[in-house]
Structures are given as C-alpha cells and as structure tokens.
C-alpha cells in the first residue's frame, strides 16, 4: 500500500505581479485502494491543488508538505513525481503537433524503465490495443498528433488512455467528466474502474454527482475558500446536489464568498 | 590573392587539365570579375570577417589516401568523392540503359563538352552574379555532373556523397551540374560532409537546369565539420511545367552562408523548397532562400524550420519575388525558428516582392521558444526534461521532415538531427 499525504498546504499564484493565496491550509490523506472525490465551487482551488501536487511551476508553495510514502514530493521535479507514481489527468491538456500519441506513450513508459530495457514493441502494442478497445478509441487516434485537433471529449478519453498505459499509483482526475456526453462518461468511468486495485488510488475532482454513480467514491471532500471544509461518504455528494454550496457554507458558519451568491 | 597571381594560377591549372578554350576564357573573365564585384548581401548577417576569400589557386591534388573506413562511407553511393578525387561512380543499370550520364565535372568537360558548355554558368547562374560566384567560376576544380535525357525516368534515387578532405587544411571549390532534358524524371540525394577536423574553406555550387516538364527532387544534406567556413549555393532554373523539389538540411557545425535560389522561368513551372537547419555552439548559419516567378501560372512554396541552441545564430531570409508578367502565379512561404537558449540568436525574415496583380502571395514567420505548457505536460507523464525537449523539437521539425519522400532519408536525417541536438562539443 502507498500513501499520499498533504499537510497544511498553502499555495499562491501570481496575479498582476502580486501573489494571491489560493490554498489556505489543505489537509488530505489518500491511500491506494481508496477512491476520493473533491467537490467545490468554481475558483476555490481544486485545480490549484492538483497542479501543485504535480509540480506545475505556476503554483507557488508557501508552506506545508506533500509526501508519497514519507518521501517529500515538493522538492522533486515534475517528471520525478510522475515516475514516483503520480498521474494528473488535466483539465486542459496541452496539444503537441508533430509528436504522435504512440510515440509519446512509448516515451512515457520507457521513462520508467532502464535505458537498456525499453518496452518491447509487441508488449506495447498488445497493451495499447487492449486499452484503445476498452475506451472505444480507434487505432487512428493513437497515430494522431498528441491532442492536436482533438475534441474536448476526445482529449479526456486520451487522458484516460495515458492513465491506463502508464498505470500510476495515484491518479488525480481534474474534471474528467466535463464536456463528455453520457456514453463517453460511462466509457471513461469503465477505464478508471479497470485500474481498481489495492495498489491504485484515485482523487477525482468534479462538479457533478453523476460521475460518482459510475466511479463510486469512498470519501467525498468539499473544498471552499481554499480549504477542505467537510468530508463524508458518497451521500455527501447527493446532499450537495440537492442543497448547493451556500447551504453547506451557512450550516458550517463559514465566511466564504461564492461567485454565484445573490 | 592578387589578381595577377590568381590569373596565373587559374590559367596554369586550366592548362594542366587541358581544358577547352571556352572554359579557360570563362575562368579568365571570372578572375577579372572577381576583382571588381561586390560580395553578395545576406540580410542580418555580417560575414565580412570570415576567411571565405582566403583560397588559393587550384592545384591538382595528390592521392586522397583512402582508408578502409573512408571507402566504406561511400560504399552504397552512386557517386563518391573525397576532396577533388572521384572514388566511385556507379549508375543503376536501368538509368545507364536510358542514357543517363553521371560522372565528375572533369570527365564531363572532356567527354560531354557541348552539354557542359551549354549549361555551365549559362542558365541557372551567371558567373558574374557576385564576387563569390565569380570565385567559384575562376577556381572550381571538380564536382558531379548528371544528365538525364529526354523522357528518361530514373526510378531509384541517385546518391551522391562528397567529402571535404579535412585531414589537413583544405580549400574546396566545387561545382556540380544537373541537367534534366524534357519529360525526364529523377531524384537526387547529395550529401556534403567532412573527413577530418582541420580548417577548411568550402565553396560549393549546384546548378539544376530543369527542362520542360521534367520532374526533379533534390535532397541536399550538408553536414560539414566545425572549423569549416562555407558558402553553399544551389540554383534551379525551370522551363515550362518543370517541377523542382528541394529538400535541404543544414546540419553543418561550422560557419555557413547559403543561397538557395530558384528561377521559375517557364509557364506552369513549380518549385517547393523545404529547409531545416540546426545551429549550435558558437556557429552562425545564414540561409537565403529565394524563388522568383517569371513564368505565368508558376508556383513557389518555401517552408523553413530551424532550431537554435547554445550561443548560435541562425538566420532565415525567405524571398518570394513575382515579376511583372507572371500572371496567375503563386508564392508562399513560411519561416519558423525555435530558440532553446537565451544566448541563441535567430531571425526569420520573409520578404515578398510583387510586381504583378493577379497573383497569390502569402507569408508567415515566427521566432519562438519552447512552449512551457507543452513541456509541463510531457514531464507530467514522467518524461525527463531533455527527452521532452527532444520531442517538442522533433514535433517542430516534423512538418518538414515527415514530408521527405524517402523513408530511409527521413530516418537518417532524424538521427543526424538527434546527434546535432545532443552535440555538446562537436
Ligand atoms: N496559473 C494561474 N495564474 C493566475 N491565477 C490562477 C492560476 N491558476 C489559478 N488561478 C486562480 O486561482 C483561483 C483558483 O483556481 P482553480 O483553477 O484552482 O479553481 P478550481 O477550483 O479548479 O475552479 P473550477 O471549478 O472553475 O475549475 C482562481 O481565482 C484562479 O483565477
Ligand atoms: Mg479547476
């Protein structure tokens, strides 16, 4: 079993040449074998949390720690963190013209292997074919340039393809459900569920309870104002769906402005 | 070199080679022109301090000292030379049967004098174009000569390998001539490289004289060693409906100015120029690519991509010129540079000169750095920074390299590029 621990994490971003504190002390512990979901209003810092864990240089850690099995992650480079076992399915994946999906996947897999022991072509293709089929993706998609000209839904599917090929310890899925039609949502969920094992943990960020019908969480966390303000089981998501964030905020007596407050 | 010394040397050389009178005359005139003509202008490149003009009058060189390793480099070629010595000429049987001629320039002057006389410095390039061209006319020693007769179709690409012998300091002044008669078809791959690492001054001209409706693909892969100062000049001259595809790779490690110019003389003629270049260390590579539309309905496309590392300089000047009378013609160009270090210097200058109305012309240019978002994305999948950077660069060049016709060429060029990018102390 592996454990990812986030302790009192405070993170700022640069806005108009000034630092603005977004995460104001986040605490979270994930174990492999568990599925967690984070919900919360727009702009509250969910993507900031996931990008910070991954090491996006736009996010500046002010204090706190992130460790994987006791090892500090914050001092590691982005690619080291990935090789340590983290995977972030991004809300807005980059497009890279001229680099094919296949070439990219092979580079990602070989980055985890000894230099003189790259994955064999047959093993790679067998796994690729299997995963393409699982995600209802055509072999042509794999030959296309990385995300270039992909539709919103295709990009999300492609993130899950990478997840399946790379097989990390922890996957953070940032709004993997946004922009997906109903069928695609089920396909993507099938992909994530295929990885379920005692050696794999998931942290899903979502706005919609619907995703949680397909990927059932053990824990649901609510983030507001840069903190996790409540943790519960899958029922918490239903409650939020019914009552909205304002209800929870008032119940908890929090002083947080919501974008859509009247 | 003093004009008088140069003249004496040139005439002496011409005599030893028992060159025909017309050629001695051409050289004599070129010596006079050399003395008075100005250096060609390359926008944004100052090469005046380069030792390009420090060349000696030609001598007949001795034995090239072929080692086994050296011979092996030319093994599969159709034409292989080291310095001025032609080591191997071998035409595919199918080409020879169709009357194709491939030999060195010295042999061509002796055996195919009329063909050479009619095409050497007459159509694609005039000997008094500028000082460097005049120098070439005066001092050229050898090169390859290819003639493809009317209606001949050469199936296999012809591979030329020319090595500058830098096992000792060298002048290398060569002239290559390709003549394709009407309705013929040929693919040529010319590789220019070095053996050894001594100083060398290289003047290399290629003329392609493409007859009516002939189709020519010309790939030029230039891979000269550091300590080389080079002037490369490739010229095309197209008759009606002729097609010329240039695919040029500037992988040199030394100082280079290059002029790649094509004249679309005939109605409906078409030239596509694809250039890629990698500049690293302290070197400067300046590349002028020009296509001029004279013929009506002629088509010009220029696509150039360059990568700059370290403290290197890479300049792309793309010139599209549509002259008066070239009705319905097209000129398009795209010049892009990717800079990988803050000390790198790059410039991509598209220049359009349009003297006719009913034409289409366009250009795009950019000088950029590696996209941080792309790098972050690749690294977030565990790919280490240098590998990620290589992928981004490969993606940047891909548009040009992946369109190379021959898969073998694509592959060998890709590995050449990888080597150039990894070059820490070439
Ligand atoms: N790179 C950045 N530069 C400047 N500001 C940023 C950056 N990233 C995030 N922010 C700001 O930080 C705040 C939190 O953004 P974040 O993307 O983490 O929100 P979120 O909870 O993921 O919202 P959503 O549900 O809309 O995706 C927002 O006000 C946002 O504008
Ligand atoms: Mg977000």
Q: pTM (2 decimals)?
A: 0.83
Nearest CA-CA distance, residue A50 and chain B, Å: 12
For residues B90-115, give the mean pLDDT.
Answer: 98
A91 — pLDDT class (breaks 50, 70, 90): confident
Q: What is the pLDDT of residue A67?
A: 98
Q: Which residues pair with B230 in a beta bridge?
A: B202, B256
Question: In which residue are the tokens 């010329």 written?
Answer: B244
Phi and psi torsions of B172, nearest 5°: -135, 110
Phi and psi torsions of A258, nearest 5°: -110, 140
- Separation CA A149–CA A144 (nearest Å): 9
B109 — pLDDT class (breaks 50, 70, 90): very high
Structural contact between residues B175 and B108, judged by C-beta atoms closer than 8 angstroms = no
- Separation CA B120–CA B214 (nearest Å): 18
Query: What does the pLDDT look like over B166-198, one tens digit per residue?
Result: 999 989 999 999 999 999 999 999 999 999 999
- Separation CA B56–CA B173 (nearest Å): 10
Nearest CA-CA distance, residue A240 and chain B, Å: 32
Phi and psi torsions of B34, nearest 5°: -55, -40
pLDDT at A240 over 80: yes
Q: Which of A95, A96, A115, A159 to mutate to test the interface with B (most CBs of B within 10 A)?
A: A96
CB neighbours of B424 closer than 8 A, spacing ≥ 6? none
A32 lines ligand 1 (CB under 6 A): no
CA distance readout (Å), B2 to B34, B51, B136, B347 = 11, 15, 16, 36
A247 — pLDDT class (breaks 50, 70, 90): confident
- The pairing of beta strand A227-232 with beta strand A219-224: antiparallel
For residues B2-7, give the mean pLDDT.
Answer: 91
pLDDT at B230 over 90: yes
**Which residue has its alpha carbon closest to ligand 1 atom 24?**
A42
Q: What is the pLDDT of residue A29?
A: 98
> Is residue B392 within 8 angstroms of chain A, CB to CB?
yes
Encoded tokens for B40: 């060609």
Quick check: A111 and B373 CB within 8 A? no
Q: What is the pLDDT of residue A261?
A: 64
Encoded tokens for B19: 């060159």
Architecture of the domain delimited by A3-92+168-252: 3-Layer(aba) Sandwich (3.40)
- Residue by residue, DSSP assigns B147-212 as EE-TT-B--SPEEEEEEEEETS-EEEEEEEEEEE-TT-EEEEEEEEEEEE-S-EEEEEEEEEEE-T
B423 — pLDDT class (breaks 50, 70, 90): low
- In this structure, of A205-214, A241-250, B324-333, the range with the lowest mean pLDDT score is A241-250
- Separation CA A163–CA A131 (nearest Å): 10
Q: What is the pLDDT of residue A258?
A: 78
Q: Is the dihedral of CA A244, A250, A252, A253 positive or negative?
A: positive
Q: What is the pLDDT of residue B426?
A: 39
Question: In which residue are the tokens 């002037």 written?
Answer: B231
A168 — pLDDT class (breaks 50, 70, 90): very high
B122 — pLDDT class (breaks 50, 70, 90): very high
For residue A32, report the distance from its CA to the centre of ligand 1, in Å.
27
- In this structure, of A110-124, A213-227, B53-67, B342-356, the range with the lowest mean pLDDT score is B53-67
Give exposure, B26-59, as e/b (b: 16+ Cβ within 10 Å).
bbbebbebbbebeebebeebebeebebeebebbe
A21 lines ligand 1 (CB under 6 A): no
B425 — pLDDT class (breaks 50, 70, 90): very low
- Provide the edge-to-edge strand list for the sheet that holds A219-224: A86-89, A170-174, A201-205, A35-39, A219-224, A227-232
- Separation CA A134–CA B408 (nearest Å): 35
Query: What does the pLDDT look like over B201-221, one tens digit per residue?
Result: 999 999 999 999 999 999 999
- The pairing of beta strand A170-174 with beta strand A35-39: unpaired
Mean pLDDT, rounded, of chain B: 94
pLDDT at B114 over 80: yes
């Amino acid at each position: 079993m592996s454990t990812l621990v986030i302790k009192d994490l405070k993170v700022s971003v640069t806005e108009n040449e000034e630092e603005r504190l977004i995460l104001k002390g986040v605490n979270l512990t994930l174990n492999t074998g568990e599925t967690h979901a984070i919900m919360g209003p727009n702009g509250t810092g969910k993507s900031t949390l996931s990008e910070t864990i991954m090491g996006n240089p736009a996010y500046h850690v002010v204090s706190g720690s992130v460790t994987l099995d006791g090892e500090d992650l914050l001092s590691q480079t982005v690619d080291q963190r990935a090789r340590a076992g983290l995977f972030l399915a991004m809300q807005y994946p980059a497009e890279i013209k001229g680099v094919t999906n296949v070439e990219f996947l092979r580079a990602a897999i070989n980055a985890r292997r000894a230099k003189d022991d790259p994955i064999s072509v047959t093993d790679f293709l067998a796994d690729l074919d299997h995963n393409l089929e699982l995600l209802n993706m055509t072999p042509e998609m794999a030959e296309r340039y990385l995300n270039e000209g992909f539709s919103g839904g295709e990009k999300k599917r492609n993130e899950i393809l990478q997840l399946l090929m790379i097989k990390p310890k922890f996957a953070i899925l940032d709004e993997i459900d946004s922009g997906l039609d109903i069928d695609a949502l089920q396909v993507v969920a099938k992909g994530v569920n295929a990885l379920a094992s005692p050696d794999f943990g998931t942290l899903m960020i979502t706005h919609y309870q619907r995703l949680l019908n397909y990927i059932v969480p053990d824990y649901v966390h609510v983030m507001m104002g840069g903190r996790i303000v409540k943790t519960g089981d899958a029922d918490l998501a239903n409650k939020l769906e019914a009552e909205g964030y304002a209800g929870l905020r008032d119940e908890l007596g929090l002083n947080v402005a919501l974008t859509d407050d009247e | 070199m003093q004009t008088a010394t140069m003249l004496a040397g040139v005439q002496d050389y011409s005599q030893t080679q028992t060159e025909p009178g017309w050629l001695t005359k051409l050289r004599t005139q070129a010596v006079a022109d050399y003395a008075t003509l100005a250096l060609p202008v390359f926008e944004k490149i100052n090469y005046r301090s380069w030792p390009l003009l420090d060349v000696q009058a030609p001598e007949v060189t001795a034995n090239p000292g072929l080692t086994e390793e050296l011979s092996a480099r030319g093994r599969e070629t159709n034409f292989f030379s080291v310095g001025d010595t032609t080591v191997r000429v071998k035409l595919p049987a199918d080409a020879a049967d169709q009357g194709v001629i491939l030999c060195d320039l010295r042999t061509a002057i002796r055996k195919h004098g009329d063909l050479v006389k009619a095409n050497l410095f007459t159509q694609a390039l005039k000997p008094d174009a500028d000082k460097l061209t005049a120098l070439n006319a005066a001092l050229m020693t050898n090169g390859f000569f290819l003639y493809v007769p009317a209606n001949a179709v050469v199936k296999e690409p012809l591979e030329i390998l020319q090595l500058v012998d830098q096992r000792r300091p060298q002048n290398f002044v060569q002239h290559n001539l390709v003549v394709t008669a009407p309705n013929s078809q040929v693919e040529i791959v010319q590789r220019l490289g070095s053996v050894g690492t001594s100083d060398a001054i290289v003047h290399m001209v290629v003329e392609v004289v493409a007859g009516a409706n002939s189709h020519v693909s010309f790939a030029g892969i230039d891979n000269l060693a550091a300590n080389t100062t080079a002037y490369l000049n490739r010229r095309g001259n197209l008759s009606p409906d002729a097609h010329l595809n240039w695919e040029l790779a500037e992988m040199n490690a030394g100082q280079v100015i290059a002029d790649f110019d094509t004249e679309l003389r005939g109605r409906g003629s078409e030239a596509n120029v694809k250039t890629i270049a990698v500049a690293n260390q302290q070197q400067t590579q300046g590349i002028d690519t020009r296509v001029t539309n004279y013929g009506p309905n002629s088509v010009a496309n220029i696509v150039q991509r360059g990568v700059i590392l370290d403290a290197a300089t890479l300049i792309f000047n793309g010139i599209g010129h549509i002259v008066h009378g070239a009705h319905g013609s097209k000129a398009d160009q795209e010049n892009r540079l990717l800079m990988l270090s803050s000390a790198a210097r790059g410039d991509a200058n598209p220049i359009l000169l349009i003297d006719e109305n009913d034409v289409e012309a366009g250009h795009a240019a950019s000088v950029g750095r590696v996209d941080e978002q792309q790098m972050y994305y690749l690294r977030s999948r565990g790919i280490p920074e240098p590998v990620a950077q290589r992928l981004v660069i490969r993606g940047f060049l891909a548009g040009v390299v992946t369109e190379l016709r021959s898969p073998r060429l694509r592959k060998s060029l890709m590995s050449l590029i990888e080597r150039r990018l990894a070059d820490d102390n070439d």
